[in-house]
Amino acid sequence: MPQIIFLPHEELCPDGKVIQVEPGVTICDAALANGIEIEHACEKSCACTTCHVIVREGFDSLDESDELEDDMLDKAWGLEPESRLSCQAVVSEDDLVVEIPKYTINQVSEQH
């Protein structure tokens, strides 16, 4: 069974977290099921960027993002080549190391 290693995030998981997941679950659902309250303003319908994550290890084991996800990601704060929307990134058989960015577009707009 693959594991997802969530790197420390100041608010969502200050010490980081390692969770075991079944292949076929999304990174977002795995996080939520294990007490990491990752934001998902569009209810996981690929219509926002609040669940944006950076896959630091294991990125190539994920299915490729589709055009809709790519269009959404273009709007994400802190976009990197290994960025994915966690509601769309489905875990395969490989372990992942995931970083949750410090901000989302929602948080950035609320602070200004």
Helix, strand or coil, per DSSP, at residue 51: coil
- All domains of the chain in start order, with CATH: 3-110 (3.10.20.30)
The one-letter amino acid at 40: H
Q: Which residues pair with 28 in a beta bridge?
A: none
What are the strands of the beta sheet with 3-6, ordered from one edge? 17-20, 3-6, 96-99, 52-57, 83-85
**Per-residue confidence in pLDDT tens, the chain, 112 aa:** 999 999 999 999 999 999 999 999 999 999 999 999 999 999 999 999 999 999 999 999 999 999 999 999 999 989 999 999 999 999 999 999 999 998 776 654 444 4
pTM of the model: 0.92
User: Which sign, positive or negative, has the C-alpha torsion 82, 88, 93, 98?
Assistant: positive
